[in-house]
A and B are shown apart, each in its own frame.
Chain A
Amino acid sequence: MSDFPSTNPGLPPLTPRDRAANPAWVDRGYRSTARRGPRETLVAVPPLASVVPAPDFSDVVVTEIDADLTRNGRMNGEPLGERIIVAGRVIDEEGRPVGGTIIELWQANAAGRYRHPVDDHDAPLDPNFLGVGRCRTDAEGRYRFVTIRPGAYPWRNHPNAWRPAHLHFALFGHHFADRLVTQMYFPGDPLLGLDPIFLSVPEHARDRLVARFDLDLTVEGYALGYAFDFVLRGPAATPWESA
């Protein structure tokens, strides 16, 4: 069955990444890809090559305040802007929960400015907002962040270019190869149709990156709620299943 032994019998091989639902490496609209995206075809490997476990973060303590960006950067007051809740589940292609995985979040503040030395956008930093958070999914794959709705900001990709408001997320499933770094957008944003990074995703899969306003996640008198699920790759069919 295999051409080399696996030392992780508990970890099944992964289904392939769905390249048809992902951006091309070189994208005509997103200028930086021109000299950075690889031109050679990715090299195919045996399915068992995917059986590399995700990093072990079992000893990492994740606290409630790590997932609350309105509190984890406070110096002398509350961060400015519109408070929001972003919550959902991490599941695989077959709908099974991915529990115990860490989700990392980073973002601009309400004015569209990042707390990063490279960001020179003429918009104020917020002394009470770092723009970073972390959360671990529960057994059902659920996560929940409290944060500030980020502002749009200009970039130099083309004349009068603006990024739509977005949150950056990074997570692993159970496999190292299941790395997912993505961006979540907000429904109804007029900048979505003008943004080469969002538009780099093939049209049929774009709505997977747009959160849904959710009144059930909305907390009365406190914050609007947005629902967003992450769908990771699933276990590959084993030879006897496909036979």
Chain B
Amino acid sequence: MARANRLGQTPTQTVGPYFAIGLAPHCISLPFKPLATEEIATDGAEGEPLVLTGQVLDGDGAPVSDALIEARQRNARGSWESGQGFRGYGRAATDKNGTFLFRTVRPAPASDYEAPHLWLIVQARGLLGPLVTRVHFADEADRNERDPIFQAAPPARRATLLAHPIGPGRYRFDIRLQGEHETVFFDL
């Protein structure tokens, strides 16, 4: 091992119940400009408009009303580049029903080797670190079959990574932190 002298990584702690003060001040009308909102892309961005919504649920199936979801995605050309209304990153806090919502454009894959997707990081009171998952589209079955990250999930659990269409340009993706149909979280 040539790298024995590494410094110790700083451990994670929970975001706690009051994260909106720092990470989503607009959600509690705090007069401090937010760094990011639920708009991953605005109206002016190139691509097909997309609304991604869903619920965060705990091991009892109860809604998690104090979760923070962060989303990261490629633009409509398959690039990470931001600009022209595309930020490629958004944050949404869940409401009292555990519901979150992002406004964006449909991401394009970078190559034939992957499926269109969004990365999500989930944090909440009661979570001692960031949980990383990925949203794939249920109507992209062929591409999902070729995608190495989707394929890394055990076959029986892959369905937890699928967002389902619920209307024109609207998809639903629920996040189950625990219990039956626990969402696949990646060691990333």
Interface bits B151-163 vs A (CB < 8 Å: 1, else 0): 0111001000000
Complex interface: chain B residues within 8 A of A80 (CB): none
Among A186-194, A216-224, A230-238, the stretch that binds chain B is: A230-238
Q: Are A106 and B128 also in contact (CB < 8 A) when A36-B177, A181-B12 are?
A: no
Partner of B32, one of A7, A23, A130, A231: A130
Partner of B186, one of A33, A45, A116, A181: A45
Is B45 on the interface with A (CB-CB < 8 A)? no
- Counting chain B CB atoms within 10 Å of each CB, the highest count among A7, A55, A104 belongs to A55
- Pairwise interchain contact A46-B148, C-beta atoms closer than 8 A: yes
From DSSP, what is the main secondary structure of chain B's interface residues? loop
Q: Are A43 and B6 also in contact (CB < 8 A) when A33-B127, A35-B60, A37-B127 are?
A: no
Complex interface: chain A residues within 8 A of B13 (CB): 23, 168, 181-183, 197-198, 200-201, 209
Partner of B10, one of A50, A116, A180: A180
Is A27 on the interface with B (CB-CB < 8 A)? yes
Is B178 on the interface with A (CB-CB < 8 A)? yes
Q: Are A91 and B7 also in contact (CB < 8 A) when A55-B88, A55-B89, A130-B31 are?
A: yes
Closest Cβ–Cβ distance, residue B40 to chain A (whole Å) = 10
Closest Cβ–Cβ distance, residue A167 to chain B (whole Å) = 10
- Pairwise interchain contact B36-A43, C-beta atoms closer than 8 A: no
From DSSP, what is the main secondary structure of chain A's interface residues? loop
Interface bits B57-91 vs A (CB < 8 Å: 1, else 0): 01110101010001010000011101000011100
Partner of B12, one of A22, A33, A50, A94: A22
Partner of B126, one of A30, A132, A234: A30
Closest residue of B by beta carbon distance from A202: B11
- Pairwise interchain contact B130-A42, C-beta atoms closer than 8 A: no
For the complex, what is the distance from the CA of A182 to the CA of B11, rounded to whole Å?
7
Q: Are A52 and B119 also in contact (CB < 8 A) when A44-B187, A45-B188 are?
A: yes
Is B17 on the interface with A (CB-CB < 8 A)? yes
Is A18 on the interface with B (CB-CB < 8 A)? yes
- Pairwise interchain contact B59-A36, C-beta atoms closer than 8 A: yes
Complex interface: chain B residues within 8 A of A49 (CB): 148-149, 152, 186, 188
Is A115 on the interface with B (CB-CB < 8 A)? yes
Closest Cβ–Cβ distance, residue B136 to chain A (whole Å) = 14
For the complex, what is the distance from the CA of A199 to the CA of B9, rounded to whole Å?
17
Partner of A208, one of B10, B79, B125: B10
- Pairwise interchain contact A40-B21, C-beta atoms closer than 8 A: no
| A residues neighboring B (CB under 8 Å) | 3-5, 7-8, 15-18, 21-25, 27, 30, 32-40, 42-46, 49-50, 52-53, 55-57, 60, 72-73, 91-95, 102, 104-108, 114-119, 130-132, 134, 168, 170, 176-177, 179-183, 197-198, 200-202, 205-206, 208-209, 229-234, 237, 241
Q: List 12 A-B contacts (CB under 8 A).
A: A22-B128, A23-B128, A32-B126, A36-B64, A49-B152, A56-B88, A57-B35, A93-B7, A168-B13, A181-B123, A183-B13, A209-B10
Which 4 interchain pairs have the tightest Cβ spacing?
A: A106-B22, A32-B126, A55-B89, A36-B126
